[in-house]
């Protein structure tokens, strides 16, 4: 049983917390967003630099600490742990107290977590430069960082479970289902991926564990946080309950049952036993159905909200993210088959897929959340409507172009390899695609710069808005609509 969206909405005045301390720790939300966006900037620069290496134009040769391999790991690790995790923490600090009517365990603990987590990110960044990486994809974090991450996860459990356990609500909204499970899954996934292959299991047996780890980090941490975030913000921005609570729960249980089984689909055609590969294929098909349920729920909720795409930039981000999610799912239907794997394995197709889901879906939803929250956090109206539009279009066009060029490059590479074309010829053939990837990377970076500039100027100089600090459905975009909070 879950409660209706109208019950989910509550403002600070209905909180159980004493009036001296507001329900939501806004400063923590703000600073986690700032840290996350800073990490994203560094990660994007690292991605751009690494793309230059693939064009044989590495600008900093013969400097070990800046060698391209290390820069690639900095790109992926800062995305996962610096950007996504910081932004998800911001999202949790905003949503969990609202959904439970209870404050998080302690604000002081919040600052400890903020400081410790970002020191962990800095340590990872420095460790990777110094060549201390573990040979575990997405788990390259230096070995001395790993226990600290587990400790950090435990502190987050204490912080976020406290309001969930204390809540007087009889039923929990579906976002809380995802969050509650996601915290546990994060700890288990991290321990499995970073400790087992490093210390306990070696060789071929470690393969399935690594597959499980890279997939579960996305599926059991990023996905539950992302889905919970979407289910919270979209109905609130649209001022409409989600289309189907039942479907949202089908998504939850489907994710819980099928996601952990599909990790081996990263190693199809490898020496891992075929029964494990086939079971990964079957559970991937099941997960596709589950993801489709979330996409349907989003679009059915959005349906009938006349002009919301034109009026609301946050909804635009969520909408395009859901569309990209559909494309990712559609791609999956092909790429999970052994036949198709023969073409695309080890090619840019996979890199295109990774960017589409990690950036095009979950990061776009985070941008939607930032667009919705930033005026409420700063108390100022957005500084520039046109910067908001520029940031949206540059990012969408940049990411769309990057995905298309990497998909085309992957197919070219795969088909040429199948025909035993020499590697040097293949590399020449994909060069124009890689050049296009770098150009699209600049477009994405430009979009990011517009968003961050607007955030800074909004916080510093923009005029103070009469904002409904909790809910503001439609926002002023083209000087056509009422400003946020008018309703």
Kindly state the smallest distance separating residue 72's Cβ from ligand HEM, in Å.
5
Closer residue to ligand HEM (CB): 283 or 363: 363
Strand, helix or coil at 193?
A: helix
Which residues between 59 and 88 bind ligand HEM (CB under 6 A)?
72, 75-76, 79
Using the rule CB under 6 A, is 252 a contact of ligand HEM? no
Q: Positive or negative, the Cα torsion across 94, 99, 102, 104? A: negative
Min CB(40)–ligand HEM separation in Å:
7
Please state, in angstroms and as integers, the Cα–Cα distance from residue 172 to each residue in 135, 254, 340, following that order: 40, 18, 42
Q: CA 108 → CA 69, 81, 88, 112, distances in Å?
A: 38, 22, 19, 6
Report H helices in 61-145: 68-77, 85-100, 107-129
State which of residues 28, 44, 268, 450 lies at the interface with ligand HEM (CB under 6 A). 44
CB of 114 to ligand HEM, least distance (A): 21
**Contact mark string toward ligand HEM, 317..356, x via CB under 6 A:** ---------------------------------xx--xx-
For the chain, how many residues are written? 487
Q: Is 445 in the site for ligand HEM (CB under 6 A)?
A: yes
**Minimum separation from the CB atom of position 308 to ligand HEM (A):** 25
Nearer CB in complex with ligand HEM: 215/376: 215
- Closer residue to ligand HEM in complex, CB, 96/332: 332
Measured from the CB atom, is 51 or 335 closer to ligand HEM?
A: 51
Residue 399 or residue 465: which is nearer to ligand HEM going by CB?
399
Nearer to ligand HEM, 176 or 268 (CB): 268
Taking CB under 6 A as the rule, does residue 444 contact ligand HEM? yes
Nearer to ligand HEM, 296 or 429 (CB): 429
358 lies in the binding site for ligand HEM (CB under 6 A): yes
Structure tokens belonging to residue 116? 């410790």
272 within 8 A of 207, measured Cβ to Cβ: yes
Q: How many CB atoms within 10 Å of residue 246?
A: 11
Task: Evaluate whether 76 touches 138 at the Cβ level (below 8 Å).
Answer: yes
- Per the CB < 8 A criterion, the answer to whether 226 and 257 are in contact is no
CA distance to 111, 248, 297, per residue, from 2 (Å): 32, 10, 15
What torsion do the CA atoms of 484, 316, 361, 92 make, to the nearest 10 degrees? 10
Counting contacts by CB under 6 A, is residue 96 touching ligand HEM?
A: no
Considering the complex, state which of residue 48 and residue 385 has its C-beta at the smaller distance from ligand HEM.
48
Residue 174 or residue 358: which is nearer to ligand HEM going by CB? 358
Find the DSSP H helices in 196-312: 206-216, 223-238, 245-258, 274-302, 308-311
User: Could you tell me which stretch among 42-50, 186-194, 278-286, 413-421 binds ligand HEM (CB under 6 A)?
Assistant: 42-50
Question: Of 14-22, 43-51, 326-334, 459-467, which segment contacts ligand HEM by CB under 6 A?
Answer: 43-51
* 3-class state of residue 301 by DSSP: helix
Q: Which residues form the interface with ligand HEM (CB under 6 A)?
A: 44, 47-48, 50-51, 72, 75-76, 79, 350-351, 354-355, 358-359, 363, 441, 444-445
């Amino acid at each position: 049983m879950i409660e209706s969206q109208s019950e989910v909405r509550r403002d600070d005045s209905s909180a159980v917390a004493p009036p001296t301390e507001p329900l939501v720790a806004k400063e923590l939300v703000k600073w986690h967003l700032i840290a996350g966006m800073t990490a994203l900037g560094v990660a994007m620069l690292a991605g751009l630099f690494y793309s230059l290496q693939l064009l044989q134009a590495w600008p900093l040769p013969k400097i070990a600490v800046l060698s391209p391999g290390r820069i690639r790991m900095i790109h992926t690790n800062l995305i996962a742990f610096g950007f996504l995790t910081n932004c998800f923490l911001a999202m949790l600090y905003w949503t969990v107290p609202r959904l439970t009517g209870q404050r998080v365990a302690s604000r002081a603990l919040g600052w400890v977590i903020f400081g410790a987590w970002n020191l962990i990110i800095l340590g990872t960044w420095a460790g990777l430069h110094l060549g201390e990486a573990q040979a575990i994809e997405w788990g390259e974090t230096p070995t001395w960082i790993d226990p600290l991450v587990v400790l950090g996860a435990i502190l987050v459990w204490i912080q976020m479970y406290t309001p969930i356990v204390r809540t007087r609500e009889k039923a929990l909204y579906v976002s809380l289902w995802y969050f509650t499970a996601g915290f546990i899954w994060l700890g288990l996934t991290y321990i499995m991926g970073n400790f087992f292959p490093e210390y306990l299991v070696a060789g071929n047996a470690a393969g399935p564990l690594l597959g499980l780890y890279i997939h579960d980090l996305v599926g059991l941490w990023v996905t539950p946080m992302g889905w919970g975030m979407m289910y919270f913000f979209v109905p609130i921005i649209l001022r409409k309950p989600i289309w189907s609570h039942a479907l949202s729960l089908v998504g939850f249980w489907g994710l819980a049952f099928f996601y952990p089984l599909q990790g081996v689909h990263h190693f199809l055609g490898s020496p891992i036993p075929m029964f494990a590969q086939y079971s990964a294929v079957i559970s991937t098909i099941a997960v596709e159905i589950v993801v489709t349920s979330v996409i349907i729920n989003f679009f059915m909720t959005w349906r009938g909200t006349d002009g919301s795409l034109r009026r609301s930039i946050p909804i635009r981000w969520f909408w395009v993210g859901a569309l990209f999610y559909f494309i990712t799912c559609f791609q999956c239907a092909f790429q999970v088959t052994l036949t198709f794997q023969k073409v695309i394995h080890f090619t840019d197709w996979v890199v295109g897929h990774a960017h589409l889901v990690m950036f095009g879906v979950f990061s776009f939803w985070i941008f939607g959340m930032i667009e919705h929250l930033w005026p409420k956090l700063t108390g100022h109206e957005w500084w520039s409507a046109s910067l908001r539009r520029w940031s949206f279009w540059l990012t969408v066009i940049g990411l769309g172009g990057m995905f298309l060029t990497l998909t085309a490059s992957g197919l070219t590479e795969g088909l040429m390899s199948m025909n035993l074309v020499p590697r040097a010829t293949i590399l020449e053939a994909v060069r124009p695609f890689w050049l296009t990837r770098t150009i699209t990377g600049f477009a994405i970076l430009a979009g990011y710069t517009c968003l961050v500039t607007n955030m800074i100027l909004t916080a510093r100089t923009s005029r103070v808005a009469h904002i409904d600090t909790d809910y503001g459905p439609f926002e002023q975009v083209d000087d056509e609509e009422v400003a946020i909070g008018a309703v």
